[in-house]
Structure 1
Amino acid sequence: MNAISLDATDCRILSVLQNEGRISNLDLAERISLSPSACLRRLRLLEEQGVIERYRACLNREALGFELEAFVQVSMRNDQENWHERFADAVREWPEVIGAFVITGESHYLLRVLAHNLKHYSEFVLSKLYKAPGVMDIRSNIVLQTLKEDSGVPVALTRTSPRGREA
């Protein structure tokens, strides 16, 4: 998919929305120096183009009792039929897995896992992950401290169109 060309105003809209998803259109328009109607038109166009996929709330994990985060590398036996599809289906069913990626390197997958504590994580690994079809090796990396975490897109690095499009 080709990247959509955005102007500086679009980028300002996206930057504000990534940090304040519940901002009203009136406040957003004021923040980026547009009229409310022009701001709403741009916002709707960004939604229609698929630049804005959805709106969501960021929850505090610790406040909800999730004290353990782990990145888990999973290697598979690829001699079983449909091993990838079967594992992918299993991963989608596990609420502990908040991110799952097919990767290059020694492992096939990288999972981002949240658990209440070490006991919960151990139960997840032993009762779900190790029992998944085709799993050969699991290597866990427990997060000790998060230095940076941003689930947004670096809008400042987005290529902007040379001419601003009309508001």
Structure 2
Amino acid sequence: MQLDAIDLHILATLQDEGRISNLELSEKVFLSPSACLRRVRLLEEAGIIRRYSAVLDTDRLGLEVDVFVEVTMRREDMSWHEDFVETISGFPEVVGCYIITGNASYLLRVKARDLKHYSAFVLEKLHKIPGVQDIRSNIVLQAIKETHALPTELLKDVAAGGRDS
């Protein structure tokens, strides 16, 4: 799907205000409500808008510990990756799991109620996964910038059909 400036404006607005009504959105992007709704539906059908969600305040909900965890795997077993992914997918503490380059195999983002909860997670769950060789924890002291919104200004060249290298 080729994106234009109006599509990018719609995406930026929806990322910032996910509960905005179609009428309000149409006014912000200077379209009629029917044309705006049609564009949003096309963005959804194309898979560009995957889903809608709410951003929760982890501190107010009692999840005080945020940790980036580097996990290095032993690779003797041929199914080490599939087994790790299947096991990690069942841990509610893991809110993000990424295959990375460098010394570690994976980077996890883990949320926990407190350090005791995090310690129990590492010792009773993560450390017991077959093939785990090394675990390195990076506890977040303060979040400087945190967003789930994609920077639509980086998509302008792609929307225009070109690429900036």
The TM-score by the shorter chain falls in which range? over 0.9
* Alignment-derived partner of residue 30 in structure 2: 33
1:19 corresponding residue in structure 2: 16
- Give the 3-state SS of the residue equivalent to 2:89 in structure 1: helix
Distance 1:11 1:74 in 2: 37
Q: Which stretches in structure 1 are left out of the alignment for 5+ residues? A: 163-167
Correspondence list, 1:11-160, <5 A: 11-158=8-155, 159-160=158-159
Choose from 3, 6, 22 the match for 1:9: 6
After superposition, what is the alpha-carbon deviation per residue over 1:53-83, rounded to whole angstroms, capped at 9, x for unaligned?
0001111101110000000000011012311
Q: Give distance in 1, aligned partners of 2:104 and 2:150.
A: 26
TM-score for the superposition, normalised by structure 2: 0.94
What residue identity is the alignment partner of 2:66?
A: E
**What SS class does the counterpart of residue 100 from structure 1 fall into?**
strand
| Paired positions, count | 159
Return the letter of the residue paired with 1:161.
Answer: A
1:165 corresponds in structure 2 to none
Distance in 1, matches of 2:159 and 2:101, equals: 31
Inter-partner Cα distance in structure 2 for 1:65 and 1:111:
20
Q: Cα distance, 1:112 vs. partner?
A: 0.3
| Shift of residue 161, structure 1, vs aligned partner | 2.7
What per-residue deviation string (whole Å, max 9, x for no partner) do you get for residues 19-41 of structure 1? 11110000000111110001001
| Structure-2 separation of matches of 1:110 and 1:82 | 19
Give the superposed CA RMSD.
Answer: 0.9
Using structure 1 for the length normalisation, give the TM-score: 0.93
